[in-house]
Amino acid sequence: MGAPVVTQDAPALPPPRLKGRGTPLRERFFRLGLWASLAVGVVFLAGLLLYVVVEAWPRLDSRIWSNFPDIIDPTNAGAQSAIMGTLWVIAFTAVYCLPTGILAAIYLEEYADPDRWWNKVIEINIQNLAAVPSIVYGILGLGVISRGLGFGQTVLTASLTLSLLVLPIVIIASREAIRAVPQSIRQASLALGATQWQTIWRQVLPAAVPGMATGSILALSRAIGEAAPLLLLGGLTFITFNPTGIQSEFTVLPIQIFNWISQSRAEFVALASAAIVILLVILLAMNSLAIWLRNRYARRW
Amino acid sequence: MSVPQQRQRTASGTPGFLKRSQPRYGEQAVKVLLVAASLVSVLTTVGIVVALIPPTRDFFAEIGIGEFLTGTEWAALFNPPEFGVLPLVGATLLITLIALVVAVPLGLGAAVYLSEYASPRTRTVFKPVLEVLAGIPTVVYGFFALKAITPFLRDHWWFDEPPQIFNALSAGFVMGIMIIPTIASLSEDAMAAVPRALRDGAFALGSSRMQVSTRVVFPAALSGIVAAVVLGISRAIGETMIVAIAAGLRPNLSWNPLEGMQTMTAFIAAAGIGDVPVGSIGYKTIFAVGSLLFVLTLVMNLISIRLVRKYREVYE
């Protein structure tokens, strides 16, 4: 990539024209347009955050997490049942989807022969499931989990539905983490006499854990924000108690926010904004954790 | 561990030396467990189909499929009911179209900038912004569309008729912003997969950066870019909360984006909130509309998956 050598001591020749005509105008406009399309996203995001915080400001105090929803008296209403509901549902979603997703990822990366038709089917199936609309998972939750299996409108139904919803994301992220472990590590382990599972358990998984953790946290933060599939389960509207167990009825933050948005009185706008701020703070905390994990523990090979 | 044993066997010249000394039941059990975990995803698809088909079949036993697909009146939960799905499909298409008008230029512009122009430093600033945009819950987008974008449009409208409180325009615009990250990150991946040699060749022939971006990288990454756009369409068709909140719940067969209208997803959500009795025709409509939605997005997803495969095959 050597730069052309410009010979200084040749005054007889006319000076070589190394400068161009300057950047043409349309090049500049093009670049400006590209830059502007990113800027729109940034401005939108800033506007959204600013709007929500400004609207929420008068309501952003302990009422929002210490009081329960109250449709008659919005000034004293809070979202405690929704915050607790979100924590319950996400905890069980993690219990169901993380082991399943990680085990499936191990199978697909370490055992599956990609040329076999059944593995191709599993692969395409996962890619499609990642893009199936979330409300269709709601139909699955309503028709099969809630009514078919008879689990009803409970924490269990919600966390199973959300587990299936984010399972493809967990699988895809875990597969990437496993794939990032170099083949030589596996070959070395196998050559020393370890079995395949010993290789995976003692070499591949420890190296892939940071990547998997990051992907899992991002998947769970997607589950926290989902409202559509849970809307379909019905009956989650006016829950004024915290969940007491897996069979308990519940509400979650996005559903509670949706209910408050649907109210016409002005107090509910502030209330909805305050709940949105709580939701965004939870998401921000999880995302920061994911980024921190990625930067702290990610290994470069 | 088992090395001395193996040596012994070599010495005695056992013909089975290369076979393992004992069957490893643990290894087999682990494999069964792993296969079972991967089958959960297949079972999910089976579960979706099983959940959709019987009520959909019952629905079409009562309502003709022709009436459903060509009728222009939708009043499924009213008396007398009407089951023409066109208003819902029309609303879905119009809002998707508005979203694409916003998201395709902005998403592709962002992708070209990040892939061809941005310094590593700029990328570390802008990439997280896209990730945060992708991570904001859709109920928040809906709230912003209804309470901030719509009032702003109504206050600053310079034509004669301002938008209604619920309208397709704000919902579509905000949805467009929502799918920018989908389109941008997937097309950026496709552009990153274009070999450097193609760019270097074009630069060596005297192309400018714009020419390289638009005439070399863009066409070379086209299948990936189309895949990204198709996936964006699938996202837009399936998005529920934004349209349920900001576009309204009134079925309305109209191409006027200033009016409120109900999409397929918004209908399903509204019927779900309404807690319709199991087995009623209203309950079955949820599944009939859900089937239509599932089939539409399935077609989009399969096209997108195919196209992504194509560019991977070419360059990797």
Contact B137 A225 (CB under 8 A): yes
* Nearest Cα residue in chain A from B271: A232
In a domain, B149, yes or no: yes
Provide the domain limits for residue B307: 74-315
In a domain, B44, yes or no: no
| pLDDT over 50 (residue B1) | no
Distance from CA of A139 to the nearest CA of B (A): 7
pLDDT digits (tens, 9 = 90+) for A206-233: 999 988 998 899 899 999 999 899 988 8
Q: Does B299 touch chain A (CB under 8 A)?
A: no
Q: Does A184 touch chain B (CB under 8 A)?
A: no
Contact A112 B38 (CB under 8 A): yes
Contact A228 B269 (CB under 8 A): yes
Contact B51 A287 (CB under 8 A): no
In a domain, B100, yes or no: yes
Q: Give me A82's structure tokens.
A: 């929704």
Contact B48 A125 (CB under 8 A): no
Q: Which of A138, A147, A193 faces B272 most closely, judged by CB atoms?
A: A138
In a domain, B19, yes or no: no
Best CA proximity match to A166, nearest among A124, A119, A205, A132: A132
Q: Per the structure, how many domains does chain B have?
A: 1
Residue A286 with chain B: CB contacts under 8 Å: none
> How much is the ipTM here?
0.86
pLDDT confidence of residue B21: 67
Of all residues in chain B, the percent with pLDDT exceeding 70 is 93
Q: Which of B41, B129, B294 faces A122 most closely, judged by CB atoms?
A: B41
Contact A228 B241 (CB under 8 A): yes
| pLDDT over 70 (residue B18) | no
pLDDT confidence of residue A12: 63
In a domain, B11, yes or no: no
* Nearest Cα residue in chain A from B208: A27
| pLDDT over 50 (residue B181) | yes
Q: Which of B35, B44, B109 faces A167 most closely, judged by CB atoms?
A: B44
The rounded Cα B31 to chain-centroid distance in angstroms is 32
| pLDDT over 90 (residue A191) | yes
Q: What DSSP letter does each residue of chain A carry, written as one string?
A: -PPPPPPSS-TTSPPP--S-S---HHHHHHHHHHHHHHHHHHHHHHHHHHHHHHHHGGG-STHHHHSPP-SS-GGG---HHHHHHHHHHHHHHHHHHHHHHHHHHHIIIII--TTSHHHHHHHHHHHHHTTS-HHHHHHHIIIIIIIIS---SSHHHHHHHHHHHHHHHHHHHHHHHHHTS-HHHHHHHHHTT--HHHHIIIIIHHHHHHHHHHHHHHHHHHHHH--HHHHHH---SS--S---STTS----HHHHHHHHHH--STHHHHHHHHHHHHHHHHHHHHHHHHHHHHHHH----
Q: Which residue has the higher pLDDT, A290 or B95?
A: B95
Going by pLDDT thresholds of 50, 70 and 90, the confidence category of residue B2 is very low
pLDDT digits (tens, 9 = 90+) for B286-303: 999 999 999 999 999 999
Q: Does B315 touch chain A (CB under 8 A)?
A: no
DSSP H or E segment with residue B82: strand B82-83
* Nearest Cα residue in chain A from B3: A193
Q: Does B232 touch chain A (CB under 8 A)?
A: no
Please report the residues numbered 57 through 96 in chain A whose beta carbons come closer than 8 angstroms to any beta carbon of chain B.
none
Contact B107 A37 (CB under 8 A): yes
pLDDT confidence of residue B307: 87
Residue B31 with chain A: CB contacts under 8 Å: 107, 111
Please report the residues numbered 159 through 188 in chain B whose beta carbons come closer than 8 angstroms to any beta carbon of chain A.
177, 180-181
Going by pLDDT thresholds of 50, 70 and 90, the confidence category of residue A21 is low
Mean pLDDT within A225-250: 80
pLDDT digits (tens, 9 = 90+) for B210-234: 999 999 999 999 989 999 999 999 9
| pLDDT over 50 (residue B4) | no
Q: Does B125 touch chain A (CB under 8 A)?
A: no
Please report the residues numbered 247 through 266 in chain B whose beta carbons come closer than 8 angstroms to any beta carbon of chain A.
265
Distance from CA of A261 to the nearest CA of B (A): 7
* Of the listed ranges A74-88, A108-122, A199-213, the one predicted with least confidence: A74-88
Q: Taking each helix axis from N to C terminus, what angle separates A155-179 and A117-129, rounded to the nearest 10 degrees?
A: 120
Mean pLDDT over all residues of chain A?
Answer: 86
Residue B82's DSSP bridge partners are B75
Instruction: Please give the domain boundaries of chain A with CATH numbers for all domains.
Output: 66-297 (1.10.3720.10)
Cβ atoms A65, A83 nearer than 8 A? yes
CATH code, domain with B120: 1.10.3720.10
In a domain, B302, yes or no: yes
Q: Which of A26, A131, A225 faces B231 most closely, judged by CB atoms?
A: A131
In a domain, B218, yes or no: yes
Mean pLDDT within A273-288: 92
Contact A137 B48 (CB under 8 A): yes
* Nearest Cα residue in chain A from B265: A135
Q: Does B134 touch chain A (CB under 8 A)?
A: no
Please report the residues numbered 106 through 145 in chain A whose beta carbons come closer than 8 angstroms to any beta carbon of chain B.
106-108, 111-112, 121-122, 124-129, 131-140, 142-144
Q: Does B295 touch chain A (CB under 8 A)?
A: no
What span, in angstroms and rounded, lies between the C-alpha atoms of B193 and B190?
5
Contact B110 A55 (CB under 8 A): no
| pLDDT over 90 (residue A23) | no
Q: Nearest-5° angle of CA A193, CA A194, CA A198?
A: 175
pLDDT confidence of residue A2: 47
Q: Does B89 touch chain A (CB under 8 A)?
A: no
pLDDT confidence of residue A153: 84
Highest mean pLDDT: which range of A4-13, A84-93, B2-11 = A84-93
pLDDT digits (tens, 9 = 90+) for B110-168: 999 999 998 988 888 888 888 888 889 999 999 999 999 999 989 888 887 888 889 99
| pLDDT over 70 (residue A20) | no
In a domain, B213, yes or no: yes
Distance from CA of B87 to the nearest CA of A (A): 19
| pLDDT over 60 (residue A263) | yes
Residue B42 with chain A: CB contacts under 8 Å: 121-122, 125
Q: Does B18 touch chain A (CB under 8 A)?
A: no
Q: Quick one: B168 exposed, middle or buried, by C-beta within 10 A (0-12, 13-18, 19+)?
A: buried
The SS3 of residue B33 is helix
Going by pLDDT thresholds of 50, 70 and 90, the confidence category of residue A1 is very low
pLDDT confidence of residue B95: 96
